[in-house]
A and B are shown apart, each in its own frame.
Chain A
Amino acid sequence: MTRITYCGITTDYYSYTVTSAEMFTMTFSTKLIKLSSIALVGLGLSAWLAIGAVSEHASGYVEPSATPLPAASDNYVGSETCGACHETQLKMFEGTKHGKLHGVESWKGKVVGCEACHGPGKEHVDSSGDKTKIISFKRMDSKAASETCLGCHAGKETHNNFRRGEHWRNNVGCTECHSPHGPEPPNFRSSSITFPANVAHQKPGQATHAMLRSNEPQLCMSCHTETKAQFSKPFHHKVLEGTMTCSDCHNPHGGFEQKQAKLAVGADVACIKCHSNKQGPFVFEHAPLKVEGCSACHTPHGSANPKMLKRSSVRQLCLECHSSITEQLAPDVPSFHNQTVLRYQNCTICHSAIHGSNSSSTFFR
């Protein structure tokens, strides 16, 4: 206790040492308040949105697709009627999964066929094919067209976040990649012996299966052109060779993860699915592995650098963090690691278990 007299007033000051447990409680409380505030704001927003939605629902808005066939279904003419004019589209469509839904027990009584997406066709037929009397996706923007697809596909876990994904954000809709009528690929053309050819009429591929406009990776690279250069570097994941696909690591339909990356084995990064020996947990974690992810040190698409590292010299990569940035999480390089000596320029020669170790705090084994 310290007694201080100032201006005639005497006050007792008690010195108080905060224990680590109390510090934890204080820190935790502060975080709890922050998180609670965020959650409350989120909850309020959700409630506001829900009220809006319910009132909208009360106004009589009707979902256009995947709904039970209305009692007064006189406006629906059936796919056979559509096929009288749109024979080619119908022929292709019939072979797709979309075209086979009418035979599925759980879809009995629902709108299937052309009108499931294009809406009731009676007016269109009665007006001798007036294009304004039918839903045409050619005239829609990408998001509006995608809303129709999401009427059925939004409930699947892989598609749940399409409305909040990178593709959506950049106005890339479902039909940019998928052909809902079933794609009809071009004729086969002679191609590289190391990079498998795209889907062709004579060579069905994943595009045929997933109603894509072309195979991966050709489809993805039609926009992400820069990745072709990355996958052509000396060290790369075998994507151009067809062994891997873009969607092995990325979810093109969006997700909660950044760069639309997938999760593996629960909550781990996508890399861990195949590189299972890096999953850990290790007694001595190399913190970036789990905290930052593999891309803290590696360039996953490809690199000229060995091990697809971000730097051509390993010590350079290590020193950029281990330079007195922190005391424990990225400890400094000891002064005896003389960088003018070749032995010390190859960090992983000693620190060979650099991804994490169970036996050595310095990653020696």
Chain B
Amino acid sequence: MLPGFRSRSHFAMLPAIVLTIGCAITLSQTPTPSPTPDDTRVPTTSPGITSTVELGVRGLDVNGNENKYRSDLNYRSGFRVFDSSFLINNKEGSNNFFDSALVTTSGWGGDPSGMFRANIERVGFYKFDTNLRQVKYFNNLNNHALNEHNADTNHGFGDVDLVIFPERESLRFRIGYSFNRTGGNGGSTTRAYSDEFGILSNVDTGSDDFRGGVEGKVFGFNLGANYGFRKYREQTSYFINGLNLGNNPTNTARLASFERRYPIEGTTNFGQFYAQRTFAHRLDFTARIIYSLTATNFRVDEMQTGRDNSNNQVDLDQFTISGETKRPQTRGDIGVTYRITDAFRISNTFTYDQFNISGGNSFFEQLRRRNAAGVALPTVLTSTFAHRITSYHRATNLIEGDYQISNRFGFNIGYRFTDRSVSLEGSDRNATAVPPTNVPFVEDFDNQTHSFIGGFKAKPLKNWVVFFDIEDGKADNVFTRLANYDFTNFRIRTRANVKNFTFNASFITRNNDNPGRSVEMPEVNLSAQTKSNTFASSIEWEPMSALSLSSGYTYQHLNAESDIIVPIASSVRAPGISQYFVRESFFYFDVHATPIRRISLYASYRISDDHGQGSRVSTRPQDIITSYPMTFQSPEIKLAIRLTNNIDWNIGYQYYDYKERLVNAQNYSAHLPYTSVRIYFGRAADR
């Protein structure tokens, strides 16, 4: 039993284990076929068509919490194109429209996500790439936002890029287009009258990106200039269907009607310029500068009626809010590498990033009410103006050297310095207060951090390699905690290949320690510590062409502890502790076998098992101890029968079992049988 797994048997593994043993026995009784030398095959890059497509039908039976199933997996029953691949290579010099065209797809039909990619090119003339994707996003969970922030949306997104004369050094052109479209039904919440109300939404957002550029070589410098433009629009509207009593059971607030229109329009214009040159094959120089200007403007029109928390009838509560925001941003980067000798290099990388977010809005509210006796109360008008500026700059310099002692051993060391400042200033002006008020504020942070890096790669044997690297110092993730982080990251990986056996292992630690004090009086300690250790390993073994196995095990051990200040009663704030734990084991194995020529088998098993916090529970209201203890496993088995060289018939079964060890557990299990045919065209049928 692997460490970290509970002792109860995972019965779902049984079919896969039986299959594996069965295959091994069958194979041991089957004469080993003479391996077909790879060099007798016509290379994939030779002229001709190579294509395969798998299409079929999937069934679905979900037991337990279907909403959680759909939030996690969302596979549906019905017909689908599981995957397809189509490659056509034309003869060289045939003056065709393209040299090669590759089209691949997966997941179209009953899958929650699908992609379509096309890569068409004619060497020396153009290169065309497109990548279209769709994700059906479903979210309905009882342990997040009181199950009121739900979604059932479609997200379509894609990229289309064309490069003219891609292999020409002197001059190349590129144009591209990307898009995002999200639509469907959503849920959100609105706050009013000391209460919160679940509301519905028609989600409608989208963006279109256009880009173009020119690249080439001038006076030995590789230069490139690109310009891009994004147009963003959001037309999501929010509403309720009928009387809404809100989440707060202790007051009289309710909404009889609610409607919010919140159109947002945004644009981004950006320009990028880069230069690169390698001098005498010794000195490599790269510089890049990016300037972007992002702007949004918006208008909120919101109306609601109902009853407030003082039991007054709200005849109209109307909000009109409008404004705009801009964010100019500049990034500049310079990288230099000098190859002092063939084995010794020094590099310096300097990056600078700076932006200012400046925006404001005008807010107007008109509130008309009647008291419980039906007497109209004075109309309340509120008019405010707010303005915010967030300024940021960050400069980082990394100097590093690497030395290759032999072709079996090399190492590197480096030092990184970062200077960063963040400031927030703003003002809130209330025009309807008597007298009018204006509250300005400003707060800024400036920190410098230093860190050191080092690492090596060793190749003790021809087929065995070890990678190691370490980074120690201070980070400037001020918002994880607003002081510097003392961190140590350590990583070692190894990979070995012996004949048909590949072994891979890695061990990664990330330790952060951030001592601090509160800004409020009396001062209290506010330290934050995170310790994460991850061990991962995998093996792949192909003892013969008819059998291959791969398996892996990953264990993550995470302790995060932060001092926090928690309100635990009206006007009572107590220092407490926040702890978060991960004790996750992940195990998988895959088996491919072809016991006889016409039959091939696939079996796999995956399990994630997180024990989380174990028996730790908080005994004080100001302490928060959490984790997400759960077990998620999915065995799969598939039988492929070769009917002809062109057609395989597949039957398979997939099972998902999810169990979480939480209050109101959202457990489910799902059976997904399927059958399909895989059709081979062109050279793909030469099997």
With the chains together, A94 CA to B167 CA distance in Å?
16
Q: Decide if A238 touches B280 in the complex (CB within 8 Å).
A: no
Q: How far is the CB of A257 from chain B (nearest CB, A)?
A: 8
Contact with B along A224-249 (1 / 0, CB 8 A): 01101100111100100111100000
Contact of A42 with B by CB under 8 A:
yes
A132 at the interface (CB under 8 A from B): no
Q: Which single member of B349, B392, B565, B683 contacts A323 (CB below 8 Å)?
A: B565
A131 contacts the other chain (Cβ, under 8 Å)?
A: no
Q: Are B99 and A100 in contact (CB under 8 A)?
A: yes
Given the complex, which residues of A lie within 8 Å of B191, measured CB to CB?
A: 349-350, 352, 364-365
A332 to B564, CA, bound (A): 10
Task: Write out the residue numbers on chain B whose beta carbons fall within 8 Å of the beta carbon of A314.
Answer: 144-145
B-contacting residues, A316-365, CB 8 Å: 316, 319-321, 323-330, 332-340, 343-344, 346, 348-350, 352, 358-359, 361, 364-365
- In the complex, the answer to whether B355 meets A325 with C-beta atoms within 8 Å is no
Contact of A52 among B272, B283, B298, B524 (CB under 8 A): B283
What B residues does A222 contact at CB under 8 A? Answer: 495, 504
- Taking CB atoms and an 8 Å cut-off, the chain A residues in 112-163 that contact chain B are 139-144, 147, 150-151, 154-157, 160-161, 163
In the complex, number of A-B residue pairs with CB atoms less than 8 Å apart: 593
- Given the complex, which residues of B lie within 8 Å of A12, measured CB to CB? none
Q: Judge if B441 is at the interface, Cβ distance under 8 Å.
A: yes
Assess whether B196 is in contact with A266, with CB atoms less than 8 Å apart. Answer: no
Residues A296 and B477 in contact in the complex (CB < 8 Å), given A163-B347, A280-B296: yes
A304 contacts across to B, CB distance below 8 A: 608, 610, 628, 630, 632, 660
B479 contacts A206, CB within 8 Å? Answer: no
* A273 contacts B by Cβ under 8 Å: yes
Q: A20 at interface (Cβ–Cβ under 8 A)?
A: yes
Q: Indicate if the CB atoms of A350 and B189 lie closer than 8 Å.
A: yes
Tell me, in angstroms, the Cα distance from A46 to B286 when the chains sit together: 11
The answer to whether A265 and B519 have CB atoms under 8 Å apart is no
**Bound state CA distance, A88 and B39, in angstroms?**
6
Any A CB within 8 A of the CB of B6: no
A260 at the interface (CB under 8 A from B): no
Which A-chain residue is minimally distant from B264 (CB atoms)? A358
Task: Assess the A290–B390 pair: CB atoms within 8 A.
Answer: yes
Q: How far is the CA of A335 from the CA of B571 in the complex (A)?
A: 5
Q: State which residues 65-115 of B face A: CB under 8 Å.
A: 71-72, 75, 82-83, 85, 87, 89, 92-93, 99-100, 102, 104, 106-107, 111-115
Q: Collect the chain B residues with CB atoms within 8 Å of residue A323's CB.
A: 518, 526, 562-566
- Chain A 163-188, CB-CB to B under 8 Å as 1, else 0, gives 11000011110000000001011111
Interface locus among B7-15, B26-34, B320-328, B374-382: B320-328
User: Is B152 part of the binding interface, using a Cβ–Cβ cutoff of 8 Å?
Assistant: no
Provide the bound-state CA to CA distance between A242 and B71, in Å: 19
Chain B residues with CB under 8 Å of A244's CB are: 133
Name the CB-closest residue of A to B216.
A155
Contact of B392 among A157, A204, A290 (CB under 8 A): A290
Q: Once the chains bind, are B282 and A61 in contact (CB under 8 Å)?
A: yes
Given contacts A45-B348, A282-B359, A340-B568, contact A288 B268 (CB under 8 A): no
Q: B169 within 8 Å of A by Cβ?
A: yes
Known: A256-B351, A265-B270, A285-B388. A182 touches B281 (CB 8 A): no
Instruction: Tell yes or no: B17 within 8 A of A by CB.
Output: no
Judge if A276 is at the interface, Cβ distance under 8 Å: yes
Task: Please give 8 more A-B residue pairs, beta carbons under 8 A apart, in addition to A194-B111, A312-B626.
Answer: A104-B123, A157-B274, A225-B506, A229-B586, A241-B107, A306-B139, A323-B564, A349-B148
Q: A57-B280, A184-B41, A325-B519 are in contact. Are A164 and B604 (CB under 8 A)?
A: no
A95, B554: Cβ atoms closer than 8 Å: no
The 7 A-B pairs of least Cβ separation, nearest first, read: A95-B45, A266-B270, A155-B222, A266-B292, A104-B124, A57-B280, A53-B283
**Majority secondary structure of chain B interface residues (helix, strand, loop or mixed):** strand
A143–B43 CB distance below 8 A: no
Q: Contact between A228 and B281 (Cβ–Cβ < 8 Å)?
A: no
Q: Which residues of A contact B19 (CB under 8 A)?
A: none
Task: Contact check, A352 vs B149: say whether CB atoms are below 8 A apart.
Answer: yes
Q: Does B584 contact A (CB under 8 A)?
A: yes
We find that the number of chain A residues with CB closer than 8 angstroms to chain B is: 161
> Which B652-687 residues have C-beta < 8 A from chain A?
652, 654, 658, 660, 674, 676, 680, 683-684, 687
Q: In chain B, what residue has the closest Cβ to A358?
A: B298
A95: B residues at CB distance < 8 A:
43-47, 89
Which chain B residues border A54 with CB–CB below 8 Å?
279-280
CA distance A80 to B295 in the complex (A): 58
B168 on interface, CB distance cutoff 8 Å: yes
Given contacts A225-B552, A335-B571, contact A327 B636 (CB under 8 A): no
Q: Which of the listed residues A281, A285, A320, A338 has the most CB atoms from chain B within 10 Å of its own CB?
A: A281
**Segment touching A, from B310-318, B429-437, B533-541:** B533-541
Contact B407–A164 (Cβ < 8 Å): no
Known A-B contacts A171-B457, A290-B357; the reply to A229 vs B554 at CB < 8 A is yes
> Does the CB pair A31–B421 fall under 8 Å?
yes
Q: Is B366 at the interface (CB under 8 A from chain A)?
A: no
A333 to B567, Cβ gap below 8 A? yes
The smallest C-beta distance from A70 to any residue of chain B, in angstroms, reads 16
What would 23 A/B residue contacts be, using CB atoms closer than 8 Å? A31-B421, A95-B47, A151-B278, A154-B222, A156-B222, A161-B286, A164-B398, A190-B638, A225-B504, A229-B554, A243-B107, A268-B294, A276-B207, A279-B230, A281-B359, A292-B477, A296-B477, A304-B632, A306-B71, A327-B519, A348-B189, A358-B296, A359-B361
A191 contacts chain B at the CB level, 8 A cutoff: yes
A29-B652 Cα distance, complex, nearest whole Å: 69
Q: Knowing A169-B469, A313-B624, A328-B443 are in contact, say whether A338-B568 is a contact too (CB < 8 A).
A: yes
Q: Roughly how many angstroms separate A314 CA and B455 CA in the complex, as a whole number?
A: 37
Report the bound CA distance from A345 to B247 in whole Å: 13
Write out the residue numbers on chain A whose beta carbons fall within 8 Å of the beta carbon of B349. Answer: 161, 164, 256
CA of A327 to CA of B442, assembled, Å: 10
Residues of A within 8 A of B594 (CB): 189
Interchain CA distance A16-B686 in the complex, whole Å:
89
Which one of A2-10, A71-79, A195-203 contacts B?
A: A195-203
Is B586 a contact of A107 with CB atoms below 8 Å?
no
Contact indicator B455/A170 (Cβ below 8 Å): yes
Q: Determine whether the beta carbon of A283 is less than 8 Å from that of B102.
A: no
Is A1 interfacial (CB 8 A cutoff)? no
- B654 & A193 in contact (Cβ 8 Å cutoff): yes
Complex: how many Å from CA A329 to CA B538? 44
B residues in contact with A279, CB < 8 Å: 230, 232, 266, 268, 294
> B196, B274, B404, B602: which contacts A141 (Cβ < 8 A)?
B404
- A202 with B390: CB separation less than 8 A: no
